[in-house]
Amino acid sequence: MASVSQLNQFPCKTFSSSPQHPKIASRPSILPLNSIKPTQNPVKKSLFSTPKPIRARPVFKVRAVDDDEWGPDKGEEPVVTQTTGVAVAEEEKPKELSEVESLKKALVDSFYGTGRGLKASSETRAEIVELITQLEAKNPTPAPTEALSLLNGKWILAYTTFPGVLTLLSRGQLPLVKVEEISQTIDAESFTVQNSVQFSGPLASNTISTNAKFEVRSPKRVQIKFQEGIIGTPQLTDSIVLPENVEFLGQKIDLTPIKGLLTSVQDTASSVAKTISSQPPIKFSLSNSNAESWLLTTYLDEEVRISRGDAGSVFVLIKEGSPLLTP
């Protein structure tokens, strides 16, 4: 058999029924078989071939999404958010209390139910002593007598171990009688101190106070000399209000029968109240040697004052208007 190379040597003529184009006629009429390549008719391809569909180039856009791409869970309302170019500040977190503020709050909380120290148990007293010691170690005013602007004003007694005050508080536990407030008012300009005790009852309220002068003896210590005592004018109420019952010596006393008797004297009490309330307070002199004392301030800031006095007694006072007085 003839090989492909031998067949390539046979001459071949190309016949055409149409006149040749001048450029085509100039080509040689004899060509090797392996050089002949099938030609494609561009017109036919465009008419009969199926063009491939032109796919649109995808366009990618960047957008911000929430953590939950698939929307809120069932039962939750969708949250509509807006994305802007301005950073949104996070919700302000509540300010954490400092160590000193935490100690002060814990100290005031420990006074609950102690009746200013009268009813404090031994365990509660030990806890209070520990908190006072920690607070004194962080005293922001090492020289209180040089910061008279902080000492100035009215201070409310919150707790004490002073026997004289505790005796007064125990007497205030009588039926229908209550110690409403014990306070100390310091006037730094005139170097005066006024201690006051306010009582209240079903018929009247009254105040007993003492006036004193103080002298600075050291950066922490003042010497106090009492000058006079004052018994305020009783402020009688126009209407007498009694509780349903009172407890005395472990026994409950029913006051319902008494209410009926007091109803008939309402008008008389009203006229007496107006007469007594117009009278001046009673003053008396305090000039004996026992009318002197000293006070050492061991902690002082804008709202809390801790002082130590005779016989190792301690006083914790809170400035009038302080949030610490709010239960």
Task: Provide DSSP, 242-291.
Answer: --SEEEETTEEEE-HHHHHHHHTTHHHHHHHHHHHHTSPPEEEE--SGGG
Report how far apart, in Å, the C-alpha atoms of 129 and of each of 28, 72, 125, 136, 255 are. Answer: 124, 55, 6, 10, 41
Query: What is the pLDDT, as a whole number, of residue 234?
Result: 80
In this predicted structure, the answer to whether residue 58 has a pLDDT above a threshold of 80 is no
Q: How do residues 92-116 score in pLDDT, each as one tens digit?
A: 555 667 999 999 999 999 999 999 9
pLDDT of 17 over the 50 cut? no
Tell me the pLDDT band of 263, cut-offs 50, 70 and 90.
Answer: low
Task: Specify the pLDDT at position 85.
Answer: 47
The whole model's pTM is what? 0.62
Alpha carbon 119 to its chain's center: 30
SS3 for 186?
Answer: strand
Q: How far apart are CA 238 and CA 166, in angstroms?
A: 31
User: Could you tell me which residue, 80 or 321, shows the higher pLDDT?
Assistant: 321
pLDDT at 169: 83
pLDDT of 65 reads 47
d(CA 250, CA 175) in angstroms, rounded, equals 11
Q: Give the 3-state secondary structure of residue 68.
A: coil
Banded model confidence at residue 4, pLDDT cuts 50, 70, 90: very low
pLDDT of residue 29: 45
pLDDT in tens, 111-170: 999 999 999 999 999 999 999 999 999 999 999 999 999 999 999 999 999 998 888 888
pLDDT given for residue 257 in this prediction: 64
Alpha helices by DSSP H, the chain = 4-7, 22-25, 42-48, 99-110, 122-136, 148-151, 163-171, 256-263, 266-277
Check residue 232 and give its pLDDT. Answer: 86
Percent above pLDDT 90 for the chain: 41
> 150 and 317 in contact (C-beta within 8 Å)?
no
Q: What are phi and psi of 49, to 5 degrees?
A: -80, 150
φ, ψ of residue 115 to 5 degrees: the values are 60, 45
Place 261 in a pLDDT band, splitting at 50, 70 and 90. Answer: low
pLDDT at position 267 is 59
The pLDDT value recorded for residue 131 is: 97
Residue with the bigger pLDDT between 172 and 98: it is 98
Please report the pLDDT score of residue 53 as a whole number: 52
What is the band of 10 on the pLDDT scale with cuts at 50, 70, 90? very low
pLDDT the model gives residue 142: 93
Q: Domains for the chain: give ranges and CATH numbers.
A: 99-232+281-320 (2.40.128.280), 238-280 (no CATH)
* Dist CA 281 CA 234 (whole Å): 9
pLDDT of residue 167: 85
